[in-house]
Amino acid sequence: MNSINIPEIFARSRASFEALRQLSVANRAVCLKQLQYLLQERMEDIVQTVCGETGKVPAEVLFSDLYPCLSATRWYRRHLPRLARSRRVSLSLLLVGNTAQEEYRPAGSVLVISPWNFPFQLAFLPTLAALSAGCSVVLKPSSLTPKTGLLIAELFEQAGFPANAVQVLTGGAETVQTALEQSPARVFFTGSTDTGKIVATRCAQKLIPCLLELGGKAPAIILPDADLNRTARGITYGAFVNRGQTCVAVTRVLVPQSIAEPFYTQLITQVNGLQEGRDYGPLLLPQRLNDLRRSIQAALAQGARVLTGQPDRPDQPLVLTGVTPDMSLFNEECFAPVLCLTTFDTIPHAIELANHAHYGLSASVWGQDKKTLQAVVSQLQAGHISVNDVVKGVGAAELSFGGLKDSGWGRYHAQDGFNFFSDKISIFRARSTGAELNWFPYTPRLYTQIKNFLEAFYGGKIGRLQVWLDLLALRRRTK
Ligand code: NAD
C-alpha cells in the first residue's frame, strides 16, 4: 500500500466510523465476545505469524503478546456497558435544581502507530480500546511486522465489526507523516522517545490529542532482606525477556553493598543458564548495537567491570558491575540483553539512583518488610511499579499503563484506554422557567446578595439564615 492511497484509507475509515456509530453498545460487546473466541481459536496462527516476523520463541508470544490481548478483550466485553453509560452528576448549591450528566462519545477515526518488539500486543491493545470506544482505526504497525498488523485487522473484521473498522497502513516514517496530515481524531504512538517527540510535534501543529508510550530504563531496587534466589531469578527474567528488547526490561539493578557478593553469585548462575532458542529469539536490529558497544567501552574505561558475558558481544547476555550515574550506560536505553549493577549503602541513595534516569516507565522493588517496600514504592518515579516481581503486571487488563518523564504521557488499558478514544461531553439542563440568577441586570443589590452568599457558603462568615433569605430573594427575582 503506498502513500498515494493514504487519504483514501482515511476516507474509508471515516465512513466506517459512521457505520460503527450505528452499532449499539450491546452489539459492540457481542463483537468483542466473538473477538475473544477468535483470539483463542487462532492462537497458533497468531503465534506463527509473530514468530515468523520476529524469530521470537513461541512461549514468549503466548505470555507477552497473546495473553494480555485475550485478557483485555474479555475485560472490555464485560465492562463496556458500564464504560459507555452516561452518568448523572449532582450539582453544588447555586446550581441545585438543575440537572447534569456526562457522556462519552467515540472520538472518530484514529491512528495507532506501533513498534516491532511486541508486535501483536502493542498494536492490538490500543486498537481494541479504540474499537470498544466506538472509533475506527488506521493501524500503522512497524515496517518489520506488517503481517502481524494485517492479521489484527482480519481478526477485527471476522469478529463482526463493520468493514474497514481496522485498516492497515504499511511503511515507515513517511507513511506516518502523510497519515498525520489526514487529521486523525487521536494518535496513539508506541515507540522510541526520539520518534515520539517527532510525532508529538506534528500532532501539536494540528492540535491532535496524542498518547505516547515511549522508552524505558527500568531500575530494580534490592533491599537487604530480599530472598536472593527469587530475586536473582526474577531479575534474570526481567532483564533478558525477549532478549532485552522490552521497554519495561530491568536494565539497572541497585544492590546493597552488604549483600552484593552473594547476590552476584546467584545472578551469574541464573544468567549462565539462559539458552538462546529456548528462552529467547534473535536480536532483531543488531545494526543498532554500535552505539551500545561504545557506551560499554566507555563504562569499562570509567571503572565498570564485567560480571558475566563478553563486552564486545552485547547481543548476548552481558552483566556489568560498578555502573554509575555519570556513565551513559546508566542512563541510555539499551534495548539489548545488557544488565547494569550498581551498589548502594542507604535506601535514600538507592531511590536517588533509581530516579536518576530521565525515563520513568517501570521499576521494581525486592524485599520482605512491607513498610520499607511501601516507603520505597511511594518515592519511585515510574508509571508502573512491581513489588517482588517484574514485567507481568504490565499485561494486567485491569491496570492502567503509561510512563512518566521521557517515557511518555497519557495512560491506557482498561478505563483509561476507553477514555482516551472518547470525547467526554457534559450536558447541563435548566429546570427553572423564568430568568436565571446570574443573568442581567447586574444591580448593586444583586452584587451584595451574591457576595454574602459566596462568603457564607465557602467561608462561613455570615449566618446561614441570612443566606437563605437572600437566596429566596434571588429566586423570587427570577420569577
Ligand atoms: P521506533 O520509534 O523506531 O518506531 C515506532 C513506530 O514509529 C514504528 O511504527 C515506525 O515505523 C514509526 N516511525 C519510525 N520513525 C518515525 C518517524 N521519524 N516519524 C514517524 N513515525 C516513525 O521504535 P521501535 O524501534 O519500533 O520500538 C522500540 C522502541 O519502542 C523502544 O524505545 C521501546 O522502549 C519503545 N517501546 C515502548 C513501549 C511502551 O509501552 N512504553 C512498548 C514497546 C516499545
Q: What is the distance between the alpha carbons of residues 129 and 422, in angstroms, rounded to a whole number?
A: 10
CB 198 less than 6 A from any atom of ligand 1: yes
| Ligand 1 pocket residue status of 383, Cβ below 6 Å | no
Higher-pLDDT residue of 461 and 93 is 93
**Mean of per-residue pLDDT scores for the chain:** 95
Ligand 1 proximity of 140 Cβ (cutoff 6 Å): yes
**3-class SS at 422?**
strand
Please indicate whether residue 52 or residue 437 has the higher confidence score (pLDDT).
52
What is the distance in A from the centroid of ligand 1 to the CA of 124? 15
The cell 521497554 sits on which residue? 247
Q: Is the CB of 361 under 6 A from ligand 1?
A: yes
Distance 69 CA to ligand 1 centre (A): 20
Query: Hey, which bits of 231-389 come out as E strands?
Result: 250-256, 305-308, 318-321, 338-344, 359-360, 362-366, 384-387
More confident residue, 193 or 469: 193
Tens of pLDDT, residue by residue over 152-202, are 999 999 999 999 999 999 999 999 999 999 999 999 999 999 999 999 999
Catalytic residue among 69, 247, 334, 340: 247
For 96, phi then psi, to 5°, come to: -55, 145
Parallel/antiparallel/unpaired status of strands 218-222 and 250-256: parallel
Mean pLDDT confidence for 262-270: 98
Q: Ligand 1: which of 142, 212, 283, 284 to mutate, most ligand atoms within 8 Å of CB?
A: 142
Angle of helix 121-133 versus helix 146-158 axis, rounded to 10: 30
Which residue CA neighbors atom 32 of ligand 1 most closely?
192
Whether residue 462 is predicted with pLDDT greater than 70 in this model: the reply is no
Does 421 score more than 70 pLDDT?
Answer: yes
Q: Is 210 annotated as catalytic?
A: no
The pLDDT of 337-360, averaged and rounded, is: 98
Span 118-141, average pLDDT: 98
Q: 126 C-alpha vs ligand 1 centroid, how far in Å?
A: 14
Query: What pLDDT, in 10s, does the model give residues 80-113?
Result: 999 999 999 988 767 777 899 999 999 999 999 9
373 phi/psi in degrees, rounded to 5: -60, -45
**What are the tens digits of pLDDT across the range 211-257?**
999 999 999 999 999 999 999 999 999 999 999 999 999 999 999 99
Q: What is the pLDDT of residues 306-324, one digit of tens each?
A: 999 999 999 999 999 999 9
Query: Percent of the chain at pLDDT above 90?
Result: 88
* 382, 360 Cβ separation under 8 angstroms: yes
Report in angstroms the alpha-carbon separations of 467 from 450, 461, 462, 470, 472.
9, 10, 8, 5, 9
Span from the CA of 262 to the centroid of ligand 1 (angstroms) = 38
Protein residue with least CA distance to atom 40, ligand 1: 213
111 CB less than 6 Å from ligand 1? no
| pLDDT on residue 454 | 84
User: What is the helix, strand, coil percentage profile of the chain, to 5?
Assistant: 50, 20, 30
Cis peptide before 441 (omega within 30 of 0): yes
Distance CA 253, CA 316 (A): 18
Contacts of 130 (CB under 8 A, 6+ apart): 110, 112, 136, 137, 186, 188, 421
What is the reported pLDDT for 437?
Answer: 81
